[in-house]
Amino acid sequence: MKEKISVYISEEDTRKKIKELGKKITEDYKNVEGKLLLVSILKGAVVFMTDLMREIDLPLSIDFMIVSSYGSGTVSRGNVKIIKDLDINISDYNILIVEDILDSGYTLSKIIEMLKTRNPKSLKLCSFLNKPDRRVANVELDYCGFVIPDEFIVGYGLDYDEKYRNLPYVGILHFEEE
């Protein structure tokens, strides 16, 4: 099978949306008591979080989690494995989880459930992409970049078998007979 990618969200539209999200997050957190901590879910969300944090005009900290539910396939297997946990105690922080894509919601629901037990001041969720047609877990977004159809998306941090993360746009991955 040959892989082909068609552009779905351009680099320019991505930049515009991130500026918009950064402005909204800045406005929402400017008078909130406590420190702001952006938590990136690696590997996919690192590109989004890097661009987003530069658009947030507030003091903030960052931390990372590595969570796996896909392996080398295109569909979440439903089991969530924490590979790298946060490095800090989050009880003094307003947590903003920064995710690349909200798909089934299963992985994020498990992460949210776990982080809430650590008593953060607040916990909100920001996802670059939202695929509501695939939702199986009840996860509500506080900040959303783009709502997308049920297609396999790559680029701008998202991958297929560790490929295509470096594309500056979001594309739909197609498989064609050779």
Residues forming the active site: 103
Using DSSP, state whether 122 is helix, strand or coil.
strand
Q: What is the largest CA-CA distance in the chain?
A: 57
β-partners of residue 153 are 172
Counted residue by residue, the chain has a size of 178
β-partners of residue 136 are none
Residue 78 φ/ψ region, left for φ over 0, alpha for ψ in the -120 to 50 degree band, beta for the rest: left
Residues 105 and 138: beta-carbon distance below 8 Å? yes
User: What is the β-pairing status of strands 143-147 and 122-130?
Assistant: parallel
* Cα 45 from chain centre: 5
CB-hemisphere CA count at 13 Å for 63? Answer: 17
CB-hemisphere CA count at 13 Å for 90? Answer: 26
